[in-house]
Amino acid sequence: MEQPTQEELKNMSPEQIMELQKKNCIFCKMIAGEIPTYKVYEDDKVFAILDINPGNDGHILLLPRDHYQILPQMPPDILGHMMVIAKKISNVMLSVLKVRGTSLYFEIGDAAGQKAPHVMLHIIPASADKKILQPESKEQDKDKISSLLNSLRAKTGYKVPGEKLKPAPVEKQVVQEKVEEKPKVPEERPEEKKESSIEKSKEDIDLDSIGNLF
């Protein structure tokens, strides 16, 4: 299939770009039956297959039938239906595979490990000897957590019921004390300078210079 040029891509509508992505998507070809799969479940909205490179035995990929490259593109009703089916598949795993838990997660974007340009929900049987998505346990900085929590709540618009907002910290104003200027003493001319009664130490320290540091 001849690929469009960069100039042609710029002139395409979002619908045309999505259709082009669908034609080149290997998972759309699986859903269309052009590529053989280990199908586990399907309906008019979703399609579930066994992963050929599983995190654990029984690892299932649940995909929307329509092509969506990343999760934010999916309509809420399709996402809601996916979660209902994911719950059923998870229950099947618990009873058929005799596992004690399952892991469900999306990979959204390259940084999160998404390799295919098609949204998919991973449903993975959990086992005691092979943990999935087990982050390293470490103590978190409380100030960092508080700052992150406030930022996330501000963006989501969430407010804890009954919680009073803490006033923003008031920056302390530094009050500069007025220093009374001492009257300038006229410099003595060398011939008028009187000898000091303080003798210099053995190191011959210049006491007049030290006095200027304070």
Given pLDDT bands bounded at 50, 70 and 90, which one contains residue 118?
A: very high
In a domain, 196, yes or no: no
In a domain, 147, yes or no: no
In a domain, 15, yes or no: no
The beta-carbon contacts of 11-20 under 8 Å, at least 24 apart in sequence, are: 18/67, 18/69
Q: How many structural domains comprise the chain? A: 1
Residue 154 has a pLDDT of 82
Given pLDDT bands bounded at 50, 70 and 90, which one contains residue 210?
A: very low
In a domain, 82, yes or no: yes
In a domain, 14, yes or no: no
* Residue type at position 63: L
In a domain, 204, yes or no: no
The set of residues, in sequence order, having a beta carbon less than 8 Å from that of 93 and lying 6+ positions away, is 58, 60, 99, 102, 123, 125
Given pLDDT bands bounded at 50, 70 and 90, which one contains residue 181?
A: low
In a domain, 74, yes or no: yes
pLDDT at 214 over 50: no
Tokens 């759309």 -> residue: 28
Q: For residue 42, what is the domain's CATH number?
A: 3.30.428.10
Average pLDDT over the chain reads 75
- Measured distance CA(149)–CA(159) in Å, rounded: 11
Write out the residue range of the structural domain in which residue 45 sits.
38-125
Over the stretch 141-174, which tens digit does the pLDDT of each residue have?
788 878 877 887 787 787 877 766 554 455 555 5
Q: How does DSSP assign 110-122, residue by residue? A: GGGT--SSS--EE
Q: What is the mean pLDDT of residues 100-112?
A: 88
- Measured distance CA(98)–CA(101) in Å, rounded: 9
- Measured distance CA(136)–CA(116) in Å, rounded: 27
Are residues 48 and 63 in contact, defined by beta-carbon separation less than 8 angstroms?
Answer: yes
Decide: residue 198, CB within 10 A, 0-12 exposed, 13-18 middle, 19+ buried.
exposed
What backbone phi and psi angles, to 5 degrees, belong to 47? -150, 125
pTM of the model: 0.62
In a domain, 166, yes or no: no
